[in-house]
Amino acid sequence: MKKKILVVDDDVNTVKLLKVNLEKCGYDVVAAFNGKDGLEKFKTEKPALIIADIMMPGMDGYHFCWDVLFEDGLYISPVPKIIMLTGRDKKLDKGISEKIGVDAYITKPFDIKFLIEKVKEILGDNIKNKKKKIIIIDDDPNIANLVRTNLNTEKYECISALDGEEGLRKIESEKPDLIVLDLIMPKKTGYEVCSEVKTNLSTAKIPVIMLTIKKEHRERYIGTIFLKADEYIPKPFDIKDLVKKIEKLIVD
């Protein structure tokens, strides 16, 4: 299935340039010419990546991205990938874009080859045979061994941590593609780790699967809704189900 890219720009020529060249690279491109239309198409098309202009009439790129990324002041899950475009080479635009949490900021006029390489980099399409990195944070070392044994070692690299503080240090240093996180742990709980991950702009987009022995609805509500964990699995779990969720979240 082709990866879908949403281009939001009021400049018809920019949209045509991006559409023609991205489609040549095998992407499915959906166009919108203002922020409001872009929001509607984001909801219906579910793109893998958004390329949005900052300066647009009505709803500008900042407000568009804010409405895409946040719901009730928290990042939506999964967090979409975004490239911002602007005709102004201003530090302010770049600073705001980085603060919002976009993946790249490119000034117009841009080199189309450079932009396409950036798209491939963000979507992981220009990196062959690179293993996806998974951090498993659980005070039971058998959990990490179980996950490592059942994942394809040619595709995934598993890194383990035995408590929340060690887990946060490894998340910061390793920049994983996904986190498997136990709820009840020494030093820092899964709640605390998930909260720090999802409120830090540099890690907020990393998918989190939360594990717990507690099955009450309240635990699931707090973990997946309030803290924005991407998946929730009660222990004991079927390892095949966990592997499927890992593979789905990393692909998405």
Domain ranges of the chain: 4-123, 132-251
Within this chain, domains 4-123 and 132-251 share the same CATH topology: yes
Q: Return the closest-CA partner of residue 83 out of 126, 108, 52, 113.
A: 52
Encode pLDDT of 118-162 as tens digits: 998 888 776 555 678 999 999 888 888 888 888 877 788 889 999
Distance CA 245, CA 123 (A): 19
Mean per-residue pLDDT pooled into runs of 10, the chain (252 residues): 90 93 92 92 90 88 81 64 79 62 83 91 70 89 86 82 93 89 87 86 84 59 59 84 86 62
Tell me which architecture the domain covering 4-123 has in CATH: 3-Layer(aba) Sandwich (3.40)
> The domain 132-251: what is its CATH number?
3.40.50.2300
- What pLDDT score does 234 carry? 82
Distance CA 217, CA 214 (A): 9
